[in-house]
Amino acid sequence: MPKSIHSTQPPLKFIPQRFNPLVLKMMSWCLPFVLRVRTRPWLPAGIVKIEAKDAEVLAKLYQEFQAGKIRFLIAFRHPEVEDPMSMLYLLSRILPKVAREKGISLQSPVHSHFMYERGMTLWAGKWLGWLFSRAGGVPIRRGRRVDRNAIQMARDLFANAKMPIAIAPEGGTNGHSGVVSPLEPGVAQLGFWCVEDLQKANREETVFIIPIAIKYSYVNPPWKKIDWLLSKLEADSGLPVAEISLTGKKQEEILYQRILHLAEYLISEMEEFYRRFYHQNLPEITTAITSEDTAKPNDVLITRLHRLMDTALQITEQYFNVQPQGNFIDRCRRLEEAGWNYIYRDDIADIKSLPPLKRGLADWVAEEADLKMQHMRIAESFVAVTANYILEKPTADRFAETTLLMFDMLSRIQESTLPGRPRLGLKQSMIIVGEPISVSERWKASQGNKQASRQGVSDLTKDLQVALEELIKD
């Protein structure tokens, strides 16, 4: 298991947004080059084509925003790490072009503030924090009960900034273009606060939330690369040669059986790992992969996977003394924050001034916390996995997404991690702009008491979830 943290670290300071139009111009100018470079063989597959549906709707909203008639928040899907590039391309390239074609007058820059997860700067480097800050980004620590700095800045920007703000309500990537993870209520709450702030300032702008979906697909179905990656995963896991009948079966059926076979093997190995070394009670469940009812073994595997995820999270929760509350995503967020509190020590004014004993203990705590968080990271990788994701649409895209999640798991466990995900093929991005959701109307209907307000936020979150799910349907 790789251990990237070996010593205690300084606290994670808040990075205030310092929007700089020159930095944005530089990013916009470099974007096509960055997209091309990411298609090089030694890097993960890049995006060679980005298109948008109903971009005119968003262009008109920007026109009304710039005229002082409305305020809005862009709530975008967050399936992959490439999403920031897709959104930047939409705002800097597609939207101005559509506006010109439709005779919609827009002022430059056509951009948005945005929120990003503070942990991104840990794996990417401090330069990303500098860049995002100058691009108008606001960092948030997802697991904190209340990240006051981030919330206050986002609330002020929503109500008063010269640009809209964009937020991914799922809170993080899930690796699935065809599945929307449960939404966090923060977007809806910010919408209600914005209406309140405008009311207090005697301003009449109408507040909207704009759902936007992002879907990725391969330009050419990478069946051979999927077969190659599956073979590699089978070899890396030490899986015996699968006894799968090839007679009369299509390519998709063969690959699906191999994925099931590999999934059962990996789950069995991890169950035994937790039984033997963490003394967990995990009764054995046999799965008949050769069953004629294809859905039956799949359902059993998902049940075992969820049980395994719960076990991994329980072990981490016990270590950090965190109570298991909410769904898998909620639990992962709280554990991430708990781990960071052990590693990035707010309670130590100067790490270098610590005596050797205390420094050694602090380093010990940080290293062990990082190791314990690996259990959570494995569970986090599979929060969007469902029983019928491939069966519903046995496309190369869904086969690739599932296989890459397995790759992520093995990479976290192996002694030496691979340099990023392997390249399976060139990808294209489709961005779909949804119908605006009026927050102002809902705010009026939810006035009266705190219970009504909470219910209003909950209802808005559910409706936003439905809107995003509708946008990704083919």
DSSP states of 312-324: HHHHHHHHHT---
Report the CATH number of the 21-220+426-471 domain: 3.40.1130.10
Q: Measured on CA atoms in the order 469, 397, 431, 327, is the torsion positive or negative?
A: positive
The total number of residues written for the chain in this structure: 474
Q: Read off the pLDDT band of 45 (50, 70, 90).
A: very low
Residue 86 CB coordination number (10 Å): 25
Q: What is the DSSP string of 228-266?
A: HHHHHHHHHHTPPPP----TT--HHHHHHHHHHHHHHHH
Contact 210, 72 (CB under 8 A): yes
Q: How confident is the model at residue 42 (pLDDT cuts 50, 70, 90)?
A: very low
Kind and range of the H or E element at 131? helix 126-134
For residue 41, pLDDT beyond 50: no
* Percent of the chain whose pLDDT exceeds 70: 91
Q: What is residue 450's three-state secondary structure?
A: helix
User: How far, in Å, CA of 414 to CA of 294, rounded?
Assistant: 31
Comparing 68-82, 214-228, 393-407, 412-426, which segment has the lowest mean pLDDT? Answer: 412-426
CA angle 167, 171, 175 (to 5 degrees): 110
Contacts of 47 (CB under 8 A, 6+ apart): 35, 38, 82, 85, 86, 216, 426, 427, 428, 429
Tokens of 429: 């991005």
Cα–Cα distance list, 214 to 138, 174, 420 (Å): 21, 12, 22
**pLDDT for the residue numbered 388:** 86
Q: Where are the alpha helices (DSSP H) in 381-449?
A: 389-392, 396-413, 439-445
Residue with tokens 């073979």: 231
* pTM passes above 0.75: yes
Percent of the chain with pLDDT over 90: 71
Q: Which residues, other chains included, contact 232 with Cβ-Cβ below 8 Å and sequence gap of 6+? A: none
Give the CA distances from residue 433 to residues 106, 173, 212, 470, in Å, rounded to whole numbers and listed in that order: 18, 19, 5, 11
Within 9-82, strands assigned E span: 47-53, 70-76
What pLDDT does 248 receive? 54
Q: Is the pLDDT assigned to residue 314 strictly greater than 90?
A: yes
| pLDDT score at 296 | 64
**Helix-strand-coil percent breakdown of the chain, rounded to 5?**
55, 10, 35
Q: What is the pLDDT of residue 2?
A: 41
What is the mean pLDDT of the segment spanning 115-130?
Answer: 89
Amino acid letter, 402 = T
Nearest residue to 328 (alpha-carbon basis) of 310, 354, 346, 301: 310
Angle at which helix 223-237 crosses helix 396-413, to 10 degrees, equals: 30
Please give the average per-residue pLDDT across 173-191, as a whole number. 93
pLDDT grade for 162, boundaries at 50, 70 and 90: very high
pLDDT-derived band at 245 (thresholds 50, 70, 90) equals low
Judge whether residue 387 has pLDDT over 90.
no
194-222: pLDDT as tens digits: 999 999 999 999 999 999 999 999 999 99
**251-278 and 223-237 are packed helices; what angle lies between their axes, rounded to 10 degrees?**
30
Range of weakest confidence among 206-220, 277-291, 352-366: 277-291
d(CA 469, CA 398): 16
Q: What is the pLDDT of residue 168?
A: 96
**Lowest-confidence segment of 1-10, 305-314, 440-449 by average pLDDT:** 1-10
* Closest by Cα among 87, 76, 149, 159 to 118: 149
DSSP 158-196: HHH-SS-EEE-TT-S--S-TT-PPPPPTHHHHHHHHHHH
The model's pLDDT over 415-470, given as tens digits with 9 standing for 90+, comes to 644 457 788 999 999 999 999 999 999 998 888 678 888 899 999 999 999 999 99
As a whole number, mean pLDDT of residues 215-237 equals: 93
Residue 235's identity, in one-letter code, is A
Pairing of the two strands 206-218 and 427-433: antiparallel
Q: 52-66, 122-136, 354-368: lowest mean pLDDT where?
A: 122-136
pLDDT over threshold 50, residue 1: no
pLDDT digits (tens, 9 = 90+) for 410-424: 988 886 444 577 889
**pLDDT value of position 279:** 95
Whole-angstrom Cα distance, residue 40 to residue 51?
Answer: 21
The least confident of 90-104, 294-308, 363-377 is 294-308
Q: What is the pLDDT of residues 289-309, one digit of tens each?
A: 444 455 566 888 899 999 999
Question: What SS3 class is residue 123?
Answer: helix
- Angle, CA of 340, 341 and 343, to the nearest 5°: 60
Distance CA 414, CA 382 (A): 18
- pLDDT over 80 at 243, yes or no: no
- Give the single-character DSSP code of 290: T
Sequence-distant (6+) residues with CB within 8 A of 436 are 57, 61, 72, 208, 209, 210
37 pLDDT tier (thresholds 50, 70, 90): low
Cα 280 from chain centre: 30
Phi, psi of 282 (to 5 degrees): -125, 90
How many CB atoms are located within 10 Å of the residue 35 CB? Answer: 19
Domain boundaries, the chain: 21-220+426-471, 223-413
pLDDT recorded at residue 241:
64
Q: What is the mean pLDDT of the chain?
A: 89
